Amino acid sequence: MTFPQLNLEPMATLNFSDFSLNNDLQKALADIGYKHPTPIQEQTIDLALKGHDILGIAQTGTGKTAAFCLPIIHNLNKTQIKTAPKSPRALILTPTRELAIQIHDNLNSYGQFLNQKYTVIFGGVSQGKQVNQLRNGVDILVATPGRLLDLINQKHLSLKAVESFVLDEADRMLDMGFMKEVEKIIKLMPKVRHNLFFSATMPPKIQTLANNILYKPKKIEVTPQATTVEKIQQTVMYVEKSNKVDLLIHLLKSNKKHKTLVFISMKHMANRVATKLEAKGIATAVIHGNKSQSARQKALQNFTRGDIRVMLATDIASRGIDIEDITHVINFELSHMAEVYVHRIGRTARAGTEGKAISLVTGEEKSFLAHIEKTIRHKIAVDKEHPFHSEEASQAPVMGVGKAKASLEAQFKKARRQHFRQKPKANVKKATTRTSRPSTKSKRTAKKRPNN
Ligand code: AMP
Give tens-digit pLDDT for 233-283.
Answer: 999 999 999 999 999 999 999 887 889 999 998 888 899 999 999 999 999
pLDDT tens digits, residue range 38-96?
A: 889 999 999 999 999 999 998 877 889 999 999 999 999 998 788 899 999 999 999 98
pTM of the shown model: 0.60
Alpha-helical runs (H) found in 310-439: 315-318, 338-345, 366-376, 391-394, 401-421, 426-432
- CA of residue 322 to ligand 1 center, whole Å: 9
Residue 413 to residue 441: CA distance in whole angstroms: 28
Looking at CATH, the fold of the domain delimited by 232-404 is given as Rossmann fold (3.40.50)
Helices 179-187 and 204-213 pack at an angle, to 10 degrees, of 10
- CA of residue 284 to ligand 1 center, whole Å: 27
Q: What is the mean pLDDT of residues 5-24?
A: 71
User: Could you tell me which residue, 343 or 362, shows the higher pLDDT?
Assistant: 362
59 touches ligand 1 (CB under 6 Å): no
Q: What is the mean pLDDT of residues 416-444?
A: 49
Q: What is the mean pLDDT of the chain?
A: 85
Whole-number pLDDT of residue 407: 82
Domain 16-221's class? Answer: alpha beta
Expressed in percent and rounded to 5, the helix, strand and coil fractions of the chain are: 45, 15, 40
Choosing from 3, 42, 72 the residue with most ligand 1 atoms within 8 A of its CB, the one to mutate for a pocket test is: 3
Residue 75 to residue 81: CA distance in whole angstroms: 11
- CA of residue 62 to ligand 1 center, whole Å: 7
Q: Where does the pLDDT of residue 230 fall: very low under 50, low under 70, confident under 90, or very high at 90 and above?
A: low
Nearest to 167 by CA among 79, 78, 58, 74: 58
- Distance in angstroms between the alpha carbons of the first and the last residue of the chain: 26
Whole-number pLDDT of residue 379: 87
Kindly give the pairing relationship between strand 381-382 and strand 232-238: parallel
Q: What is the mean pLDDT of residues 199-216?
A: 92
Domain positions in the chain = 16-221, 232-404
Helix (H, G, I), strand (E, B), or coil: what is residue 34?
A: coil
Indicate if 232-404 has the same CATH topology as 16-221. yes
Nearest-CA residue for ligand 1 atom 18 is 34
Whole-number pLDDT of residue 236: 97
Q: What is the mean pLDDT of residues 14-36?
A: 93
- CA of residue 50 to ligand 1 center, whole Å: 22
Q: Which residues are bridge partners to 312 per DSSP?
A: 262, 286
Whole-number pLDDT of residue 289: 78
65 touches ligand 1 (CB under 6 Å): yes
| pLDDT higher than threshold 70 for residue 452 | no
